[in-house]
Structure 1
Amino acid sequence: MAARELEEVLKEVRRIQIVAKRQVNDLLAGEYLSAFHGRGMEFNAVREYVPGDEIRSIDWNVTARTGAAYVKTFCEERELTVMLMVDISASGAFGSQRLSKMDTAIEVAAVLMFTALKNNDKVGLMFFADDVISYIPPRKGRGNVLRLIRELLATEPVKTQTDITKALEFLGRVQRRKCVVFLMSDFLGPDCSRALAIANQRHDCIAVTLEDPRESTLPDVGFVTLRDAETDELIELDTRHPRVRTLFAQAARSREQTLIGWLRRANVDRLTIRTDQPYAHSLQRFFRARERQR
């Protein structure tokens, strides 16, 4: 990377860091902590037995030494491992708002990373398109988070189609212990519901769907030429005709219903992020909904 390019990336890292930390401190600090379970229950201490305690929780070693009945107490093991899986296929470069889908994904990922950092959780990162492009194993610490943000900012979209199934199969091979998986994609690809269901049995998977309003509605602006970012296919449309705009909207609704079916079959929660709406509020609503489910 050239010196000027590196300087620009570092400048953007600082900007993202400021934005992300503000969102975490103002909105998300408590919600994240309540939204996700730890890996299980760990031993905390022993205390004297009182009537009504579960007999199976008696610590017989301590009881034998002291001559009085003691029971084990447990608490939830809080430490989490968070894995961010980011789709970098070229369709993510599309955007009709201030930020493209990819830019929005970068900021959302940064917010999630700093939220995890605030709770002393491990964070890892995976880039994928038609295959896994890069994988950085989960680690703790501020230095790790800043490195991951630099990697996000330096990554260019890949002109190829998305294969979420391959990415999830790779995750199953490299991440054996349970983790919270944020799968960030526009989900414009083949059916991945079976792979999602398998991954969700071991991990806690969340589908972060990235959307732009121009993917569901066409404005009346005359003739337009649309290019598929992943295949370079060109399509010319006359948006003056209501029938053309209606068919475009119907195709978008069909894609949405298909995605709903995939996630329902896999029993995976969805976090919808739109480029025309504040993502911090979407995150906050999602965390609060998860907390109510616990």
Structure 2
Amino acid sequence: MFGRLRARRRRGPDAAPDGASADGAPAEGAPARIGASQTEALLRRLEWTVVRRLDGLLQGDYRTLFRGFGLDLADLREYHPGDDVRHIDWNVTARLQTPYVRKFQEDREVCVWFLLDLSGSVGFGSGEVRKRDLLSDFTTVIALLLTRYGNRVGAVLYGGAKDMAASVVPARAGRRHLLHLLDRMYATPAASPGDTRLRDLLECARAVAKRRSVLFVVSDFISAPGWQASLAMLARRHEVVAVRLVDPLEMALPDLGLVVMQDAETGEQMFVDTHDPAFRKRFAAAAEAREAELRQGFALAAVECLTLSTYARLDLALLQFACRRRRQQGAAKVAAEGAAKEGAA
């Protein structure tokens, strides 16, 4: 991936998007089934370029950013502001007239689900790295880091077709299962034409992920409205991280003159004059309004968002995410300890 990134940067972010990725795959739809040898080559490349640098930061032997969810009761303690109200022990609370919450023994095993949006818009890229390439590399890296410690990973694959349900790869452990997941991911075509309904993907995940898990929703979130409520429902039961795929050309248009633009999902074409400053200004304003709407949607659902750009290095983005998440966990721990001391006083 990083070789492609270096080659792409020489072209610059203002270059017009080409119709194919660096490996020759067409921009529309998914690449053909890549085969076991090519999947192994992908794993080896990412193990050397990304995984070795991130190992121990996202998932360590004893401490991890993503905790297991145990069922064995370990202790009871007095309720503090910010605790999950679902863990309140109402019997003890009624007897003592003070709210108490249950503490559970955490399992070391974590079950992770990848909710992958493989619709037509994810095939876009203004350089030699498409958003779909970024999606596959992110999924491979996180799955490699987790499965090597015995955790189980599964996936819900959504191609964007209205008349076709999302396909499910059950959560299992092991490298062989990871190869199967990646092969299914590469073999899932994008519906053309077809509007993305991200809500269908999220509702399918609600039906599949019965046990409390960690969910990565990997998408560009270019979708029909109505998915925010489904995302909030998932976040009530699971630990959800929204992984947003972006390309700089989606935020601002360069001056390319007269060009024909085509909607990657509906196939609709439009002849526009990018030399017009007023048109570029309206495009940037619409992109900013969409950014504000997405930020509000993630905030209302109480879901953390990790943004990955096709013009940025994947390993650096994941390192920044790990550092930010550790700071948040540290701040939450300090706040909980302070509240406990105030309650004891």
Question: Cα offset for 1:242?
Answer: 1.1
In structure 1, give the amino acid aligned to 2:202: L
In structure 2, what is the equivalent of residue 86 of structure 1? 116
Q: What percentage of aligned pairs have identical amino acids? A: 31
Summarize the alignment of residues 258-273 of structure 1 with structure 2, pairs less than 5 Å apart.
258-273=293-308
Mapped pair 1:16 → 2:36: no
In structure 1, what is the equivalent of residue 309 of structure 2? 274
Mapped pair 1:187 → 2:221: yes
- Greater Cα shift, 182-191 or 13-22: 13-22
In structure 2, give the amino acid aligned to 1:149: L
Mapped pair 1:134 → 2:134: no
Summarize the alignment of residues 220-259 of structure 1 with structure 2, pairs less than 5 Å apart.
220-259=255-294
Mapped pair 1:31 → 2:66: no
In structure 2, what is the equivalent of residue 217 of structure 1? 252
**Structure 2 residue aligned with 1:165, among 199, 202, 218?**
199
CA distance in 1: counterparts of 2:314 and 2:271, whole angstroms: 32
Question: Cα offset for 1:110?
Answer: 0.5
Say whether the 8 Å CA contact 1:36–1:290 is kept in structure 2.
Answer: no
* SS of structure 2 residue aligned to 1:31: coil
In structure 2, give the amino acid aligned to 1:185: S
Say whether the 8 Å CA contact 1:32–1:287 is kept in structure 2.
Answer: no
* SS of structure 2 residue aligned to 1:77: coil
In structure 1, what is the equivalent of residue 238 of structure 2? 203
CA distance in 1: counterparts of 2:237 and 2:259, whole angstroms: 46
CA distance in 2: counterparts of 1:191 and 1:97, whole angstroms: 31
Question: Cα offset for 1:39?
Answer: 0.6
Say whether the 8 Å CA contact 2:126–2:247 is kept in structure 1.
Answer: yes
In structure 1, give the amino acid aligned to 2:227: C
Q: Deviations over 1:85-121 (max 9, x none)?
A: 1111111111012211111101111111101112211
Question: Cα offset for 1:29?
Answer: 3.0
Residues 1:242 and 1:74: Cα distance change in structure 2 (over 3 Å): closer
Say whether the 8 Å CA contact 2:119–2:196 is kept in structure 1.
Answer: yes
CA distance in 1: counterparts of 2:229 and 2:104, whole angstroms: 35
CA distance in 2: counterparts of 1:246 and 1:106, whole angstroms: 33
Q: Deviations over 1:200-255 (max 9, x none)?
A: 01111111100011111111111011000111111111111111111111111111
Mapped pair 1:175 → 2:209: yes
**Structure 1 residue aligned with 2:131, among 90, 101, 116?**
101
Say whether the 8 Å CA contact 2:115–2:205 is kept in structure 1.
Answer: no
Say whether the 8 Å CA contact 1:9–1:153 is kept in structure 2.
Answer: no
* SS of structure 1 residue aligned to 2:191: coil
Which is richer in strand? 1
Question: Cα offset for 1:11?
Answer: 4.1
* SS of structure 2 residue aligned to 1:30: coil
Question: Cα offset for 1:13?
Answer: 0.9
* SS of structure 2 residue aligned to 1:181: strand
Residues 1:97 and 1:9: Cα distance change in structure 2 (over 3 Å): farther
Give unmatched runs, 5+ long, in structure 2.
Answer: 1-31, 75-102, 330-345
Flag as ranges the 4+ runs of structure 1 deviating above 6 A. none
In structure 2, give the amino acid aligned to 1:142: R
* SS of structure 1 residue aligned to 2:226: coil
CA distance in 2: counterparts of 1:261 and 1:89, whole angstroms: 23
Say whether the 8 Å CA contact 1:220–1:240 is kept in structure 2.
Answer: yes
**Structure 2 residue aligned with 1:146, among 179, 186, 208?**
179
CA distance in 1: counterparts of 2:155 and 2:123, whole angstroms: 19
Which structure would you say has the larger Rg? 1
Say whether the 8 Å CA contact 1:96–1:212 is kept in structure 2.
Answer: yes
In structure 1, give the amino acid aligned to 2:182: I
* SS of structure 1 residue aligned to 2:59: helix
In structure 2, give the amino acid aligned to 1:251: A
* SS of structure 2 residue aligned to 1:92: helix
Say whether the 8 Å CA contact 2:147–2:174 is kept in structure 1.
Answer: yes
* SS of structure 2 residue aligned to 1:108: helix
Question: Cα offset for 1:144?
Answer: 0.4
Equivalent pairs counted in the alignment come to 261
